[in-house]
Structure 1
């Protein structure tokens, strides 16, 4: 599928808890498609509840890819996602399937659809391990202070708790004496015909959904899942940085109450949803659908949009 020898892909984005997985499955069924997860944390085995991973039953309805491939101790990146997704898109289109990329990790989506070049970034594994040890010993704020010394402007863009990004940025500084801004780099022409569908809803309703979903996750065993991560993997592991898990670590250390940890998960999830909306509205060419009301009507509009793209790509 796709004109001018470009594969056609459908990308479904939006904030956490808006319902991307459900609508992705509905649309993929309609078009005999398969789903590639665009969520940076669903690739980890054992982290099912906190990542809102689709169930085995849902995966039998529509095949899903890039789920449950890595242990929580392993790292994954936008570069790895781009290569894995590229391979899967070629495979799916060769079988006559329409690829659906479903997820809210903005940089993963941008790297794939804008064909960002990740391969020239320098590596320094020894220095990286040193930084990981320092983060574990002194805490994330220590790394953030180090970053400020190199470039206060860059440090201001990175959250002090984002250990992985701070380490990667410091590693690039170490090797090149400057920060390579992937977000600002010139994109090539996309290798795909892209239909990018954005899901949104009234903020009050979205925030209510987020709060309710966190409560449901706790009822299903989220805290036990977080404890497994806390007991078995270092705090610097990429998986341990995920919202829904790291907020319970102070509770496990006896520093805050369980109720406070749950409230913090809700707050951080709402803030993340806001950041996701800002990212996709500012950086991507998205056709937005407000599904606060008349969701089925909006799904029919999405179907017509995809049908129109298929028809135009075939000409």
Structure 2
């Protein structure tokens, strides 16, 4: 029998953390963070990292595992989370992934094979020669003919990814899009995805208020501490909540502009998250508002009881 994994997804600030804890309490679960930024120590306020007192005694994983100076890949994330899923299941607990980084969660649930094809150096060299002779637009048009979906996603200037997408097609006879679709259909788990969606205006207001709260909690000081350590161009400082303040510390913009940019970037990120989840995964969506949150959570817990009903240990 495949391991059941519950994933709580949706845009930032919608209430995923609280719901994941409620599910864990009800179904003897443990929570794995599916957020690509909460892995970093010291990036607490800007990532809306769950506080110890908010955990209500539920174990949480994939939080505070790296120094801010370290890099991390989706492939590393996938391996670590899959190990946690195995361990949690072996202790007769329900693995619950909570977070908002769509590709990271998808890679775990559908076991994306990131190195399924070794590099073909001769093909790469041939394409690089063609690139030098005819230009990147010519190479990008080649990709558009065989894989229009990836061509739309990959900017022509991202030469490495354009070449890689063509290389995969040359070696497998499948487009990168088809490869991803094939992987999506074959999960090593029984994934149950719960999505929270909120009316745009309410969600955007929540995001704006959350940023104001973060500033009151000391977000500026958190980013300044990292900036003063010389962590300007590392992966962790490219995340929303951190990169917006670098121009302020460099004296290029006033503080209010940095805060306004953070709010705008957070709203745009929420929109991208929602679009990604809607398009990429089969999710049980639940509308939620601040007024209906308690009732919505009760409905979700009831529905989950039915979905998990065949698995007696839950």
TM bucket, shorter chain: 0.7 to 0.9
2:236 pairs with one of 230, 236, 239: 239
Partner of 1:308: 306
Q: Return the alpha-carbon distance in structure 2 between the equivalents of residues 175 and 206 of structure 1.
A: 37
State the secondary structure of the residue aligned to 1:73. Answer: coil
CA 1:218–1:147 in structure 2 vs 1: closer, same or farther (change >3 Å)?
farther
Partner of 1:23: 19
Partner of 1:67: 63
Partner of 2:293: 295
- What is the CA-CA distance between 1:76 and the residue it aligns to? 1.5
1:34 pairs with one of 14, 30, 35: 30
State the secondary structure of the residue aligned to 1:197. Answer: strand
After the TM superposition, which residues 39-54 of structure 1 pair with which residues of structure 2 at under 5 Å, given as runs? Answer: 39-54=35-50
Does 2:3 match 1:7? Answer: yes
Contact map agreement 1:122 1:175 (CA 8 A) in 2: no
Does 2:271 match 1:274? Answer: yes
Cα distance per residue 1:172-226 (max 9 Å; x no partner): 5677875888665221511111110001111111000000000000111111111
Partner of 1:105: 101
Q: State the number of aligned residues.
A: 282
State the secondary structure of the residue aligned to 1:61. Answer: coil
CA 1:159–1:101 in structure 2 vs 1: closer, same or farther (change >3 Å)?
farther
Partner of 1:90: 86
Cα distance per residue 1:52-74 (max 9 Å; x no partner): 00012234521100000001111
1:214 pairs with one of 211, 214, 220: 211
- When structure 1 is superposed on structure 2, of 169-178 and 243-252 the one drifting more is 169-178
When the two structures are superposed, what TM-score results if normalisation uses the length of structure 1?
Answer: 0.81
CA 1:297–1:59 in structure 2 vs 1: closer, same or farther (change >3 Å)?
closer
Q: Return the alpha-carbon distance in structure 1 between the equivalents of residues 136 and 41 of structure 2.
A: 32
- What is the CA-CA distance between 1:239 and the residue it aligns to? 0.5
Does 2:248 match 1:251? Answer: yes
State the structure with more CA Rg.
2
Root mean square deviation, CA, Å: 2.7
Partner of 1:135: none
Cα distance per residue 1:60-98 (max 9 Å; x no partner): 521100000001111112211111111111111111110
Contact map agreement 2:140 2:162 (CA 8 A) in 1: no
CA 1:28–1:148 in structure 2 vs 1: closer, same or farther (change >3 Å)?
farther
- What is the CA-CA distance between 1:232 and the residue it aligns to? 2.3
Contact map agreement 1:147 1:155 (CA 8 A) in 2: no
CA 1:170–1:225 in structure 2 vs 1: closer, same or farther (change >3 Å)?
farther
State the secondary structure of the residue aligned to 1:311. Answer: coil
- What is the CA-CA distance between 1:151 and the residue it aligns to? 3.5
Contact map agreement 1:122 1:172 (CA 8 A) in 2: no
CA 1:260–1:189 in structure 2 vs 1: closer, same or farther (change >3 Å)?
same
Q: Which residues of structure 1 form unaligned runs of 5+?
A: 124-145, 161-165
CA 1:190–1:22 in structure 2 vs 1: closer, same or farther (change >3 Å)?
same
